[in-house]
Amino acid sequence: MSIRHLRAVFRKEVLHIFRDRSTFILVLLTPISLLFIMAYALTVDIQQVPVAVLDRDESRLSRRFVHQLTVGEELDLHARVDSLGEIDALLRRGRIKAGLIIRPPFERQLITADGAPLQILIDGTEPESGAFAMDQIARRADAFVGQVLAQEAGLGMTLDGLSSPIQYHVTALYNPALKPRVDMVPGLISLVLGFPALSVALTLAHEREHGTLEQVMVTPVSRAELLIGKMLPYLAVGMVNVVVIPLIALITFDIPFNGSFSLFFLLSIAFLFAMLSMGTLVGVFMRTQPAALALSFLVIFFPGFFMTGIFFPLASMPAEVRLEAMFLPGTHYAVIARSVFLRAAGLAQLWPQSLALLGLGTLFVSVAAFSFRKKLG
């Protein structure tokens, strides 16, 4: 391995990143903007969430309560229905995000502070809206109860120190776990940090297309020098993102960061190495940029999205998918990111994932170096 060759390739690639605008945008700006777009798409302020009400109590207080729900912009009373079947149908068709069922004796139990039952059905396929609707209903119910207790019972009591006189029975349909956003952002970080991998795949294909690779192939540069020299600049750029992106996540999305940042930084580098090796492998086999782009999405991003447990729990997948997921750096990094962010996990817990990242990176880059030949055609 000649340091001079390595440095020449490295320097050339750095100049390329900074002088070629589209590469610069792809490498440095896309991950940041993507994090914003995706995180916001998942957490936008929800308004006018459609709900339906089935009022079986049909009392004065239950009617006042239903009226209270529709004050403000947050909830939209889509329908008053007469049967459970109608709520079910509306939920299935996605017309409402939540259904509220008031059963008798709501009024009487409310007055006697006996635990008036409220049943809420939530569309778990959209946990954000469902959870939001539930939260709104509960909040209004609490406020309502406060009013009622004060007025009706004349007790002048507040709810402080008392358990709420309403018993909530919440059932989230389709997605009982209701994974919150706090869990999602570290996963998103692992997704956007993978972007330099795409750049590496594209830059190799770009050089093939433009014939520059042909000119480099006739020089005595070795395969490893060429591939590593090309990977290193993207690793450096990726490290910038490793610092910037968690900071943005912490500041903008109010995510807790409980673990060690230096550990997170080190393991992120291991993840970048694994991803860049994967990108290099793609770039070695593809002749054109569109092909490299397509294959990157096919083997890096789609599986990264669906099979790494970021959005869909791995435990729910078939064994073959789980096995395949073990070959995706994102699977291991998602665990690392979540654990460090939220659970303050250390190397004592995360060593299997860390080793997996290093192993995968070494595997991919070795296969790439052996498959890459200084030949055309």
Residue in 154, 156, 161, 220 binding another protein, rule: CB under 8 A:
220
Backbone angles phi and psi of 102, in degrees to 5: -105, 115
Residue in 89, 216, 236, 293 binding another protein, rule: CB under 8 A:
216
Interface region with another protein, contact rule CB under 8 A, candidates 108-116, 184-192, 280-288, 369-377: 369-377
Q: Does 19 bind another protein (CB under 8 A)?
A: yes
Q: Does 7 bind another protein (CB under 8 A)?
A: yes
Residue in 4, 71, 316, 318 binding another protein, rule: CB under 8 A:
4
CB 225, min distance to another protein, A: 9
Write out the binding residues for another protein, residues 182-211 only, by CB under 8 A.
Answer: 210-211
Q: How far is CA 145 from the centre of its chain?
A: 37
Whose Cβ is closer to another protein: residue 167's or residue 215's? 215
Q: Does 22 bind another protein (CB under 8 A)?
A: no
Q: Does 217 bind another protein (CB under 8 A)?
A: yes
Whose Cβ is closer to another protein: residue 158's or residue 215's? 215
Q: Does 108 bind another protein (CB under 8 A)?
A: no
Indicate the Cα dihedral angle 312, 314, 319, 322, nearest 10°. Answer: 110
Q: Does 93 bind another protein (CB under 8 A)?
A: no
CB 376, min distance to another protein, A: 5
Query: How many residues bind another protein, per CB under 8 A?
Result: 27
Residues at the contact surface with another protein, assessed by CB under 8 A = 2, 4-5, 7-9, 11-12, 15-16, 19-20, 210-212, 214-221, 374-377
